[in-house]
Amino acid sequence: MFMELKKDLKSFQSGLVESIKKLQAKIEANAECFDEQNRKLKQCFETIGSLKKENEELRRDIEVIKKKQTESDQRMRCNDLEIRGIPVQPNENVICILQSLAMALQCRLLIDENCIVFCYRANSKEDGVPGTIFVRFNHHAFKNDLLRRRCAVRGFSSRLMQLPVTSDMSVFVNESLCPERRVLFKKANEIRKQKKYRYIWTREGRILVRQSDKCSVMAINCLADLDKL
């Protein structure tokens, strides 16, 4: 009886040892699998970090390219002006209208066809509002002369010009902005009105704002600058 119990116990111990060995083998296999998964997970995180860094670098490169493109587009318009508020004339000649404007503003430089690259009136987008006149001069001096003279005269309307058709509508002369700067100017102007900034204007294609006469001038070069207002 004792021998049988001893034999059974030995058999049980042998089976238990075998089971433990198998369990250890499985644990070791799982540990290796876990280590492999950790290694792959670490590689994934490293790849994600590398891709994130590369993505940030690409974003910066794209922003630099966009900025350079915007500056290039704006430089192409460095001699351009947009004139609003002049009524459409019968059989009009926009160059003659431009000359009448220059005379009324007492511009220093004489404007004729030789100093103009192009001059045309765009179709109106609103009923009762005359289309904008776009002009490009072949020299910066003509653009600046006309722009500065208009800025110096307050309350200027087409009634002060020798034209068949006039109105009391103010005549505005502004620098031409490229599409990106135009959008930026519009957003800056909206914030200016909300925060009661007094001035917003452009100079050589740059957008400038000033809260009051006593405050310093702030340049708006990108969307991030709007947060500073």
Burial 51-89 (b: 16+ CB within 10 A, else e): eeeeeeeeeeeeeeeeeeebeeebeebebbbbbebbbeb
Do residues 170 and 215 share a domain? Answer: no
Residues 109 and 145 sit within 8 Å (Cβ to Cβ): yes
Instruction: Quote the domain boundaries for residue 187.
Output: 177-229
* Nearest C-alpha neighbor of 178 from the set 89, 95, 64, 69: 69
- State which of 45, 77, 109 marks the end of a domain: 77
Whole-structure pTM value: 0.76
Do residues 210 and 184 share a domain? Answer: yes
Do residues 162 and 90 share a domain? Answer: yes
Q: What is the pLDDT of residue 12?
A: 61
Do residues 118 and 140 share a domain? Answer: yes
Do residues 52 and 4 share a domain? Answer: yes
For the stretch 46-59, pLDDT in tens is 899 999 999 999 99
Do residues 53 and 68 share a domain? Answer: yes
- What percent of the chain lies above the pLDDT cut of 70? 93
For the stretch 163-213, pLDDT in tens is 998 888 899 999 999 999 999 999 999 999 999 999 999 999 999 999 998
Mean pLDDT, residues 156-166 taken together:
91
Do residues 181 and 135 share a domain? Answer: no
- State which of 77, 112, 136 marks the end of a domain: 77
Q: What is the pLDDT of residue 168?
A: 86
Do residues 82 and 150 share a domain? Answer: yes
Measured CA to CA, the distance from residue 40 to residue 38 in angstroms comes to 5
Do residues 5 and 83 share a domain? Answer: no
Query: Which range has the worst mean pLDDT, 26-40, 115-129, 135-149, 154-168?
Result: 26-40
Mean pLDDT, residues 77-89 taken together:
96
In this structure, what are the phi and psi dihedrals at residue 224, rounded to the nearest 5 degrees?
-60, -30
Q: Provide the domain count of the chain.
A: 3
- State which of 133, 159, 176 marks the end of a domain: 176
Structural tokens at position 204: 């050589």
